[in-house]
Amino acid sequence: MDAATQLARSQEIAGNILLGLQKRVQGAMERYEKRLRGALDGEASPNEGIASFASGFNSWNTWHYAVDVAQRSILFWDTLRERGTGFVESTAQGLKPALHFDYEIVLDGRQFGRPVNYALLCIKAPEGVAIDAKKRPYLIIDPRAGHGPGIGGFKDDSQVGVALRAGHPVYFVVFFQNPEPGQTLLDVCAVEQEFVRKVRALHPDSPKPAIIGNCQGGWAAMMLASSSAEDTGPIVINGTPMSYWSGAFSEGAGDNPMRYAGGILGGTWLASFSSDLGNGKFDGAHLVQNFEYLNPANTLWDKYYHLYKDIDTESPRFLAFERWWGGYYLMNREEIEWITRNLFIGNKLWSGEVRGVSGKAFDLRDIRSPIILFASMGDNITPPQQAFNWVADLYGSTEEIKARGQVIIGLMDEEAGHLGVFVSGKVAKKQHAQIVNVLETIETLAPGLYAMLIDEAKGADGKVAYKVTFVEQRLEEVVNRFNRFRREDEKPFEAVLELSEFNQRLYELFAQPYVQLASNETTAHLLREFHPLRFQRWAFSDLNPWLAWLRPTASAVRANRQHNGDIEPWRKAEQRGSEVISASLDHYRAMRDAVAETLFFAIYTHPWLAHFADRHRSREAAASVSTDPRELPFVKDALSSIQQGGYAEAVARTAFLLFARKGEPLPFALLATAREVVDSYAGYLPSLPPDQWRRIRGEQELIATYEPQQAIATLPALLAKPEDRERLLALMDRLLADERVQGVTPTAQQWEALQRIRAVLGVPPAARPVAVLERAPS
């Protein structure tokens, strides 16, 4: 690109950036104004609101409200004292998993040849819950992102709870507060492979274990599944940023401010600097502080006001969550550097550039089990683009997914925040409960990309019931729908990577030796203890002698707590004031994120840095693929093998021609019935591992889709053995006579295909239209 063209391009980009900022600011102002009007005026008109507001006050309810404020204030501060005291005690005793359920340790990674601070727990079923040891076991991996483990089983309505109530054995991967000397993320992956093998050994008669990964635990689950494909069953990753560069440059509210942080801060060097100050250990409190930074309204006001407003009932929930939120764990320098270089900044996991302990690259295409990707539109830490775009980067086309025999299912929530994706009780009872229900059946799905839809309805008993439907999608359409800028906004992150590597080398050469020389365990301990998040807890605890009066005073208040019904006007006024403060903090966040986003693109689209992106490795997103599908390598390979194969290929091809209904939703109930049919006629079906059977089905689907006439005409070549031909015909006849099949009317194309198949196999045509089961011989 010549200088003039580059300058013109730079000016155009600058104009678009400023236009985007203008729209973001305008949108933020409109939302702020709307919230202020709602807070100050309520549902009435301004004059009516003021008149109603003033008429509700008198001297008596003013006095009662003052007493209520004083009592709530004492109880509020005493709750914070309890939080701080609990923090001090749990830190002294050694932080424990925040699990709601009892457990026992099965394997302790600290005892391995290459020790790591991880352990495998077996969750004990609560009273009244029966576990079937032959059911598929679940292995849940929680994130190691500053906090401790256990959030996947934090309450009864959780990932652990719904799996236990469904009768599945549940295992949990936890970690301890301090890492083992020299441990790396690759060592952790190797130990987790041992955990999976142990679970398989404990349940030899069960299907392969399902691996559930939450946030950062999703990376671990995917690495584990790709390196131990023979040991792992279906994979479920929740809120996992697999494509960290992805997001949505927006003109409204900032959807994903965290993806810009690495570029604004200059890359990975800051993680190394923090680890050096910690004498080789990275303090997880820094990560927690980053999370709190994302939502100043909740961090500084909302969660505390919610506690203050409902102090009589809210304290137990607040303290339970804060025990987890305020438990800060450490990482080795090698671990945080691996994460920042390979994932946050490098975005390398999907590309096959990351290698395991053995030296073999993690190739996510080696995963043979179905994958469920769960994300939320309300998640500003892992937006849906980060959860899904890696599929396009890895496979490139829908046809490649099918040819490789892979099943990938996307599940979307509209509102849940990042923690809500794997913590919310509401989400657990809906999405995670339905995931447990479908995991036994999705292995029978034909290869492809699916959307999992969950519809809510009232059952006959009046209780909420859920209906699950799978809708097949084309990868190219999904990528276009999620990325309205066709992923052009990811190019600056390639410049971030180049600049990050330069800054990292600069730090290692000129600053790191001096920082390490000045650091020791004493200075590292002091820095950790006086981190703002720790300081605010232990400073407001029973360690503080100035608070000795607070506990007995709070006890006296609880014994004499007054509840007066006439203070409602004051409480409404209080809540309006709270809403004004919350709205102001949210407005500050919106403006801050808009400026940060604008600053990021202004820096990294500058001509001096843009050339880094231009010369960086090119990545071809599926959204930009315009090639005729017939010209794709996987389609060509499949069509070239149209006459190759045997009985398995013939069954898969016939199944697609007769039973597939392209574009139609597939209800879970129908899928479950299809599995019953499959089990009934197992003797007629090829005896193959599920992953190999799915690969054959995918290849035959491509053949039958792009050459349907030839696919039928060449069936005799696949059934060269007379016994194979008789076996397939017997299967077709028995299916046509099955009552479970006769309830679905075939399409005209399916009926025509049935008659042609019978003709090329040398048997008379069917005498009557027969209902066929959608996707039956899975």
pLDDT single digits (tens) 509-520: 999 999 999 999
Rounded to an integer, the average pLDDT of 107-111 is 97
The pLDDT of residue 618? 45
The pLDDT of residue 711? 93
pLDDT in tens, 393-423: 899 899 999 999 999 999 999 888 898 998 8
Rounded to an integer, the average pLDDT of 129-142 is 95
Q: Look up residue 294 and give its amino acid.
A: L
Chain-wide mean pLDDT for the chain?
A: 88
The dihedral over CA atoms of 48, 51, 53, 57, expressed in degrees to the nearest 10, equals -160
pLDDT in tens, 1-10: 566 776 677 7
Strands 371-376 and 330-332: unpaired
The pLDDT of residue 777? 43
Q: Residue 619 has what DSSP assignment?
A: -
Which has the closest alpha carbon to 468: 671, 753, 251?
671
Rounded to an integer, the average pLDDT of 498-527 is 96
Rounded to an integer, the average pLDDT of 710-737 is 91
Contact of 436 with 668, CB cutoff 8 Å:
no
The pLDDT of residue 625? 43
In a domain, 397, yes or no: yes
Q: Which domain holds residue 717?
A: 629-760
Contact of 519 with 276, CB cutoff 8 Å:
yes
The pLDDT of residue 660? 81
Written as six digits, the tokens of 665 are: 């939703």
Contact of 38 with 579, CB cutoff 8 Å:
yes
The Cα 524–Cα 96 span in angstroms is 23
Is there a single domain that holds both residue 491 and residue 636?
Answer: no
C-alpha distances out from residue 682 to 593, 690, 691, 700, Å = 57, 13, 16, 20
Q: Is 151 exposed, middle or buried (0-12, 13-18, 19+ CB in 10 A)?
A: buried
5-14, 207-216, 758-767: range with lowest mean pLDDT? 5-14
Which has the closest alpha carbon to 303: 326, 284, 321?
321
Is there a single domain that holds both residue 488 and residue 635?
Answer: no
Task: Cite the beta strand spans of 344-428 per DSSP E.
Answer: 371-376, 407-413
C-alpha distances out from residue 646 to 659, 685, 691, 704, 725, Å = 20, 12, 18, 16, 10
In a domain, 234, yes or no: yes
C-alpha distances out from residue 265 to 261, 302, 499, Å = 6, 28, 11
Final residue of a structural domain among 495, 512, 545: 495
* Residues 6 or more apart in contact with residue 688 via CB below 8 angstroms: 648, 696
The Cα 598–Cα 249 span in angstroms is 10
pLDDT in tens, 248-278: 654 444 457 788 999 999 999 999 999 999 9
- The residues pairing with 452 across neighbouring beta strands, listed in sequence order, are 411, 470
Phi-psi region of 146 (alpha: psi -120 to 50; beta: other; left: phi over 0): left
Written as six digits, the tokens of 535 are: 């300081």
Residue in this structure with the two tokens 């180049």, named with its chain if needed: 498
The Cα 694–Cα 146 span in angstroms is 39
Number of domains in the chain: 2
* Residues 6 or more apart in contact with residue 600 via CB below 8 angstroms: 260, 263, 264, 492
CA atoms within 13 A on the CB side of 506: 11
* Residues 6 or more apart in contact with residue 135 via CB below 8 angstroms: 166, 167, 168, 169, 206
Contact of 382 with 252, CB cutoff 8 Å:
no
Contact of 231 with 196, CB cutoff 8 Å:
yes
pLDDT in tens, 657-689: 888 877 788 888 888 888 888 888 889 999 899
Rounded to an integer, the average pLDDT of 369-379 is 93
pLDDT in tens, 25-58: 998 999 999 999 988 876 544 454 555 555 678 8
The dihedral over CA atoms of 427, 429, 431, 437, expressed in degrees to the nearest 10, equals 160
In a domain, 266, yes or no: no
The Cα 521–Cα 108 span in angstroms is 26
The pLDDT of residue 32? 95
The Cα 55–Cα 60 span in angstroms is 13
In a domain, 579, yes or no: no
154-163, 375-384, 554-563: range with lowest mean pLDDT? 375-384
Strands 330-332 and 281-283: antiparallel
The Cα 242–Cα 225 span in angstroms is 14
Strands 118-123 and 170-175: antiparallel
158-162, 393-397, 434-438: range with lowest mean pLDDT? 393-397
Strands 407-413 and 371-376: parallel
pLDDT in tens, 454-489: 998 877 777 888 999 999 999 989 988 888 777 878
The pLDDT of residue 737? 80
CA atoms within 13 A on the CB side of 91: 20
Determine what percent of the chain is predicted with pLDDT higher than 90.
Answer: 62
CA atoms within 13 A on the CB side of 126: 14
The Cα 154–Cα 715 span in angstroms is 55
Contact of 553 with 72, CB cutoff 8 Å:
no
Written as six digits, the tokens of 432 are: 């995670």
Domain of residue 143, CATH code? 3.40.50.1820
Which has the closest alpha carbon to 381: 349, 422, 323?
422
Residue 193 scores a pLDDT above 50: yes
Residue in this structure with the two tokens 């003013």, named with its chain if needed: 62
Which has the closest alpha carbon to 775: 647, 675, 700, 698?
675
Residue in this structure with the two tokens 């469920």, named with its chain if needed: 372
Residues 404, 405, 409, CA angle at the centre, nearest 5°? 110
Q: Look up residue 249 and give its amino acid.
A: F
Final residue of a structural domain among 443, 464, 495: 495
The Cα 422–Cα 428 span in angstroms is 7
Which three-class secondary structure state does DSSP give residue 612? Answer: helix
* Distance between first and last Cα of the chain: 53
Which has the closest alpha carbon to 411: 389, 384, 442?
384
In a domain, 460, yes or no: yes
In a domain, 571, yes or no: no
Rounded to an integer, the average pLDDT of 514-528 is 97
